[in-house]
Chain A
Amino acid sequence: MESDAEIIHAVLRGDRGQFATLVARYERAVWATAWRVVKDDHAASDAAQEAFLEAFKHLSDVRDPDHFGLWLLQIARRQAIRLAKRRSRDPSQSLDDGDSTYADDAFESNLDKVTSLSADAEDLLATVAQLPEHERIVMVMRYLDGRSVAEIAAALGRPVGTITKQISRAIERLKFSLKGVI
């Protein structure tokens, strides 16, 4: 499996088609990130699309291509916040575009949830979406995309042991967050 760095390199060299691989690789993680903010399936898809387009335009800004996923999720979050602000029914509810988690939380409380997920699946998605970004990426790749640890390691340009550790930590975090449910 090609690493993100190799794919980014190819895209920057002109092979735009390779960007599809990055979209396929990160679409669920990006969608989940956007969904955490907008809590609306369709809006999350819109924000996710915008995030990929923004990432494409600014691909050469990625200083460390092995951190592409983290960079992409930051864009997704920002796009989701922008979209949410536009859709906000309460314009007086000011949102900072900064990195304040408070901004997300404040906004989330102001939204109606629109999702086709069952309550159980939604709980899990919400918990996954709150994982640190690097853990969110590996967990989505592992358990929602069904990729092997070796594939994830190859894609992210990380050693297998690192991915393994991240998954283990994320599972511990999920167990803790979902305490009483599992």
Chain B
Amino acid sequence: MTASDNLEERFAKLRGEWPAASLVDDVMKRLPSQDFEIQKKPAFEPTMPTRRRGRLFAGLVSSGLFIGMAIAWLVIISRPTTLLAAIQDNLKNAQSAHVVITHWDDKDVAVRSEIWYKRNVGVRVESPDEVCLEDGKTQWTWSTKKTDGERVILRQKSPGFFTTQLAQMISLPESSPEWTKVRSAELDREIHGRKCQASILTFPNDSAALSGNPPRPQVRGIVLVEAGGRIHEITVEEQRKEGTWRRVAKTQIDYDAAVPDEKVLAKLPEGVRVVDRAEAFYAVHPLEKALKRVEIEGLIFAVHDIQPLENGDGFYVVSSVRGSEEYLKTYPPKARPFNPELVLLDVAFQPGSNMSQGGNYFRVVLGNAQRDGVEYSWWLVMPRRFYEIKDGKRIERNDLFTGQGEPERLDNQPGKAMVPLMAVLMNPKHRDANGVSPQVMKWVEVPVPADRSPAILLEVAGRAKRDSKAMSVASAGGLIGIAADEKGAPNRAMTRIMHDVSDADFAAAIQRGIDDMSRLNQLGGSDPGPFPPGGQEK
């Protein structure tokens, strides 16, 4: 018996004796209530370098998402519960409201956004570069930036975000004993003609210690509340290293403010083309024009574009996944607000990062886009080329193909390609006892159009980028790759790539992912091989 066998036996024994019951149910029951807002920073982006965060912030401001974030701040900063309950009730009961949110950057440059709300009429959000208007049925968004190009208004069915979820946006988190609230009478003042009392809430700052990340500056909120409990102003401040405080954001709420109907009624700029977001999204790769459609366990997969890569390096693929009518009836997806302009339906997602595709292929992801429970993905499927180094020479090892459920070649037949379609089912009913969502996967044969001759990476990267950009007006998602300054090869993290990237830079970001995956093809040396000793795969 080898040491590894013995170790496996001991692990099996430990597994059998495992003294703790599953924590899943207990933890899920104890999660803060649905009203709890995770302490959100701007939209989560995997491993986003600092300078891109700046660009993201600018994008958020222009998209109106900043408004949501700012109000999320309002939620966070205005604990304890009694104050929040007052805000929620006051806004629910208000006939109208005017909210002004100002954010100051590191150089104390202010960015101001405003919200006008009038019950049963509509909502208007004005951020520096964009106006978003919603009347309860339809939402319109247009840029206010000066442009020499064509001006467009983006239109879509109202996601109901403001009209139905304004109150939810300021929902109540659980009260937390960690918050420190100090009454600060010296800061009392009159706002909107009403006397307000000031308190300072101090944000607990132990998350940095918990996360192991460098500590963030201490943050505090100065909250001004009128006698009836309505919060009129919240100023968020951040402590400088020398101990003084600098303002970061201010939210001012004027309840029952005079909001003229014309401010929130849909009065659109003239001479501007109206683009329906949903139509724009589906027009790029309509289902009815797909090269291949196949239903797998209730999911409809479609391959919309496919092109061989030069040197037999695999194929570029554009595919989508959505639920069949019957599937959606059986497993109705949950609506999930994504930002003020988009509500997502979680049905199924295709792989969102580079991965080994079985034993003999790689999948390299270029981007994705999702809307209305439909998800598109741009990706490459590439054969692995195993090799070993002997006496300083590289020796190809193409004899390692296992063939277990995988095609021996992607281009088995002329004019056709084998591609692996796969997706994770997102409906909670599919989860197993451990809470794990299952995935479906199938290799399918797809006809390759005659005009799709072998392409270099630059060409398909550019096409994916243009597709993604066209669909981004109406969807979540975007381009993915490995940024040039990402360290840690060959395990570099993938990041979102902005649409203003050049084709060459985007292709380079994809190539870095291919390079990282390809390093796994070397056999021997310090790499113990494709499978570890022991375990169930023995």
Contacts and interface: CB of A to CB of B under 8 A. Distances in A.
Contacts of B537: 148-149
A102 B419 CA distance: 53
A182 B3 contact: yes
Interface stretch (B270-278, B280-288, B331-339): B331-339
A118 B12 CA distance: 13
Contacts of A58: 39, 207, 210-211
A125 B14 contact: yes
A41 B20 contact: yes
Given A159-B490, A167-B532, A143 B15 contact: yes
Interface stretch (B126-134, B219-227, B350-358): B350-358
A3 interface: yes
A71 B208 CA distance: 11
Contacts of A74: 210-212
B435 A60 contact: no
B177 interface: no
Report the contact-size class of chain B (Cβ under 8 Å from the partner). Answer: 35 or more
A164 B528 contact: yes
Interface in B94-125: none
Given A3-B352, A148-B536, A159-B490, A121 B13 contact: yes
Nearest to B17: A121
Given A10-B346, A161-B520, 10 more contacts: A15-B346, A53-B31, A61-B210, A61-B213, A78-B210, A120-B10, A148-B536, A149-B537, A165-B527, A178-B7
Contacts of B424: 1-2, 6
Interface of B: 3-4, 6-8, 10-11, 13-15, 17-24, 26-28, 30-32, 34, 38-41, 44, 46-47, 207-213, 334, 336-338, 344, 346, 349, 352-353, 355-356, 424, 426, 428, 431, 434-437, 439, 490-491, 493, 516-517, 519-520, 526-537
A28 B18 contact: yes
B355 A154 contact: yes
A84 interface: no
14 contacts: A8-B44, A12-B38, A19-B27, A27-B23, A57-B32, A63-B211, A64-B47, A74-B211, A120-B10, A142-B535, A148-B535, A159-B520, A165-B527, A168-B528
Interface residues of A, number: 84
Given A144-B14, A164-B529, A159 B4 contact: no
A41 B18 CA distance: 10
Interface in A5-49: 5-6, 8-21, 23-25, 27-28, 30-31, 41, 44-45, 48-49
A23 B28 contact: yes
A132 interface: no
Nearest to A146: B536
Given A5-B353, A158-B491, A159-B516, A21 B437 contact: yes
Contacts of B22: 24, 27
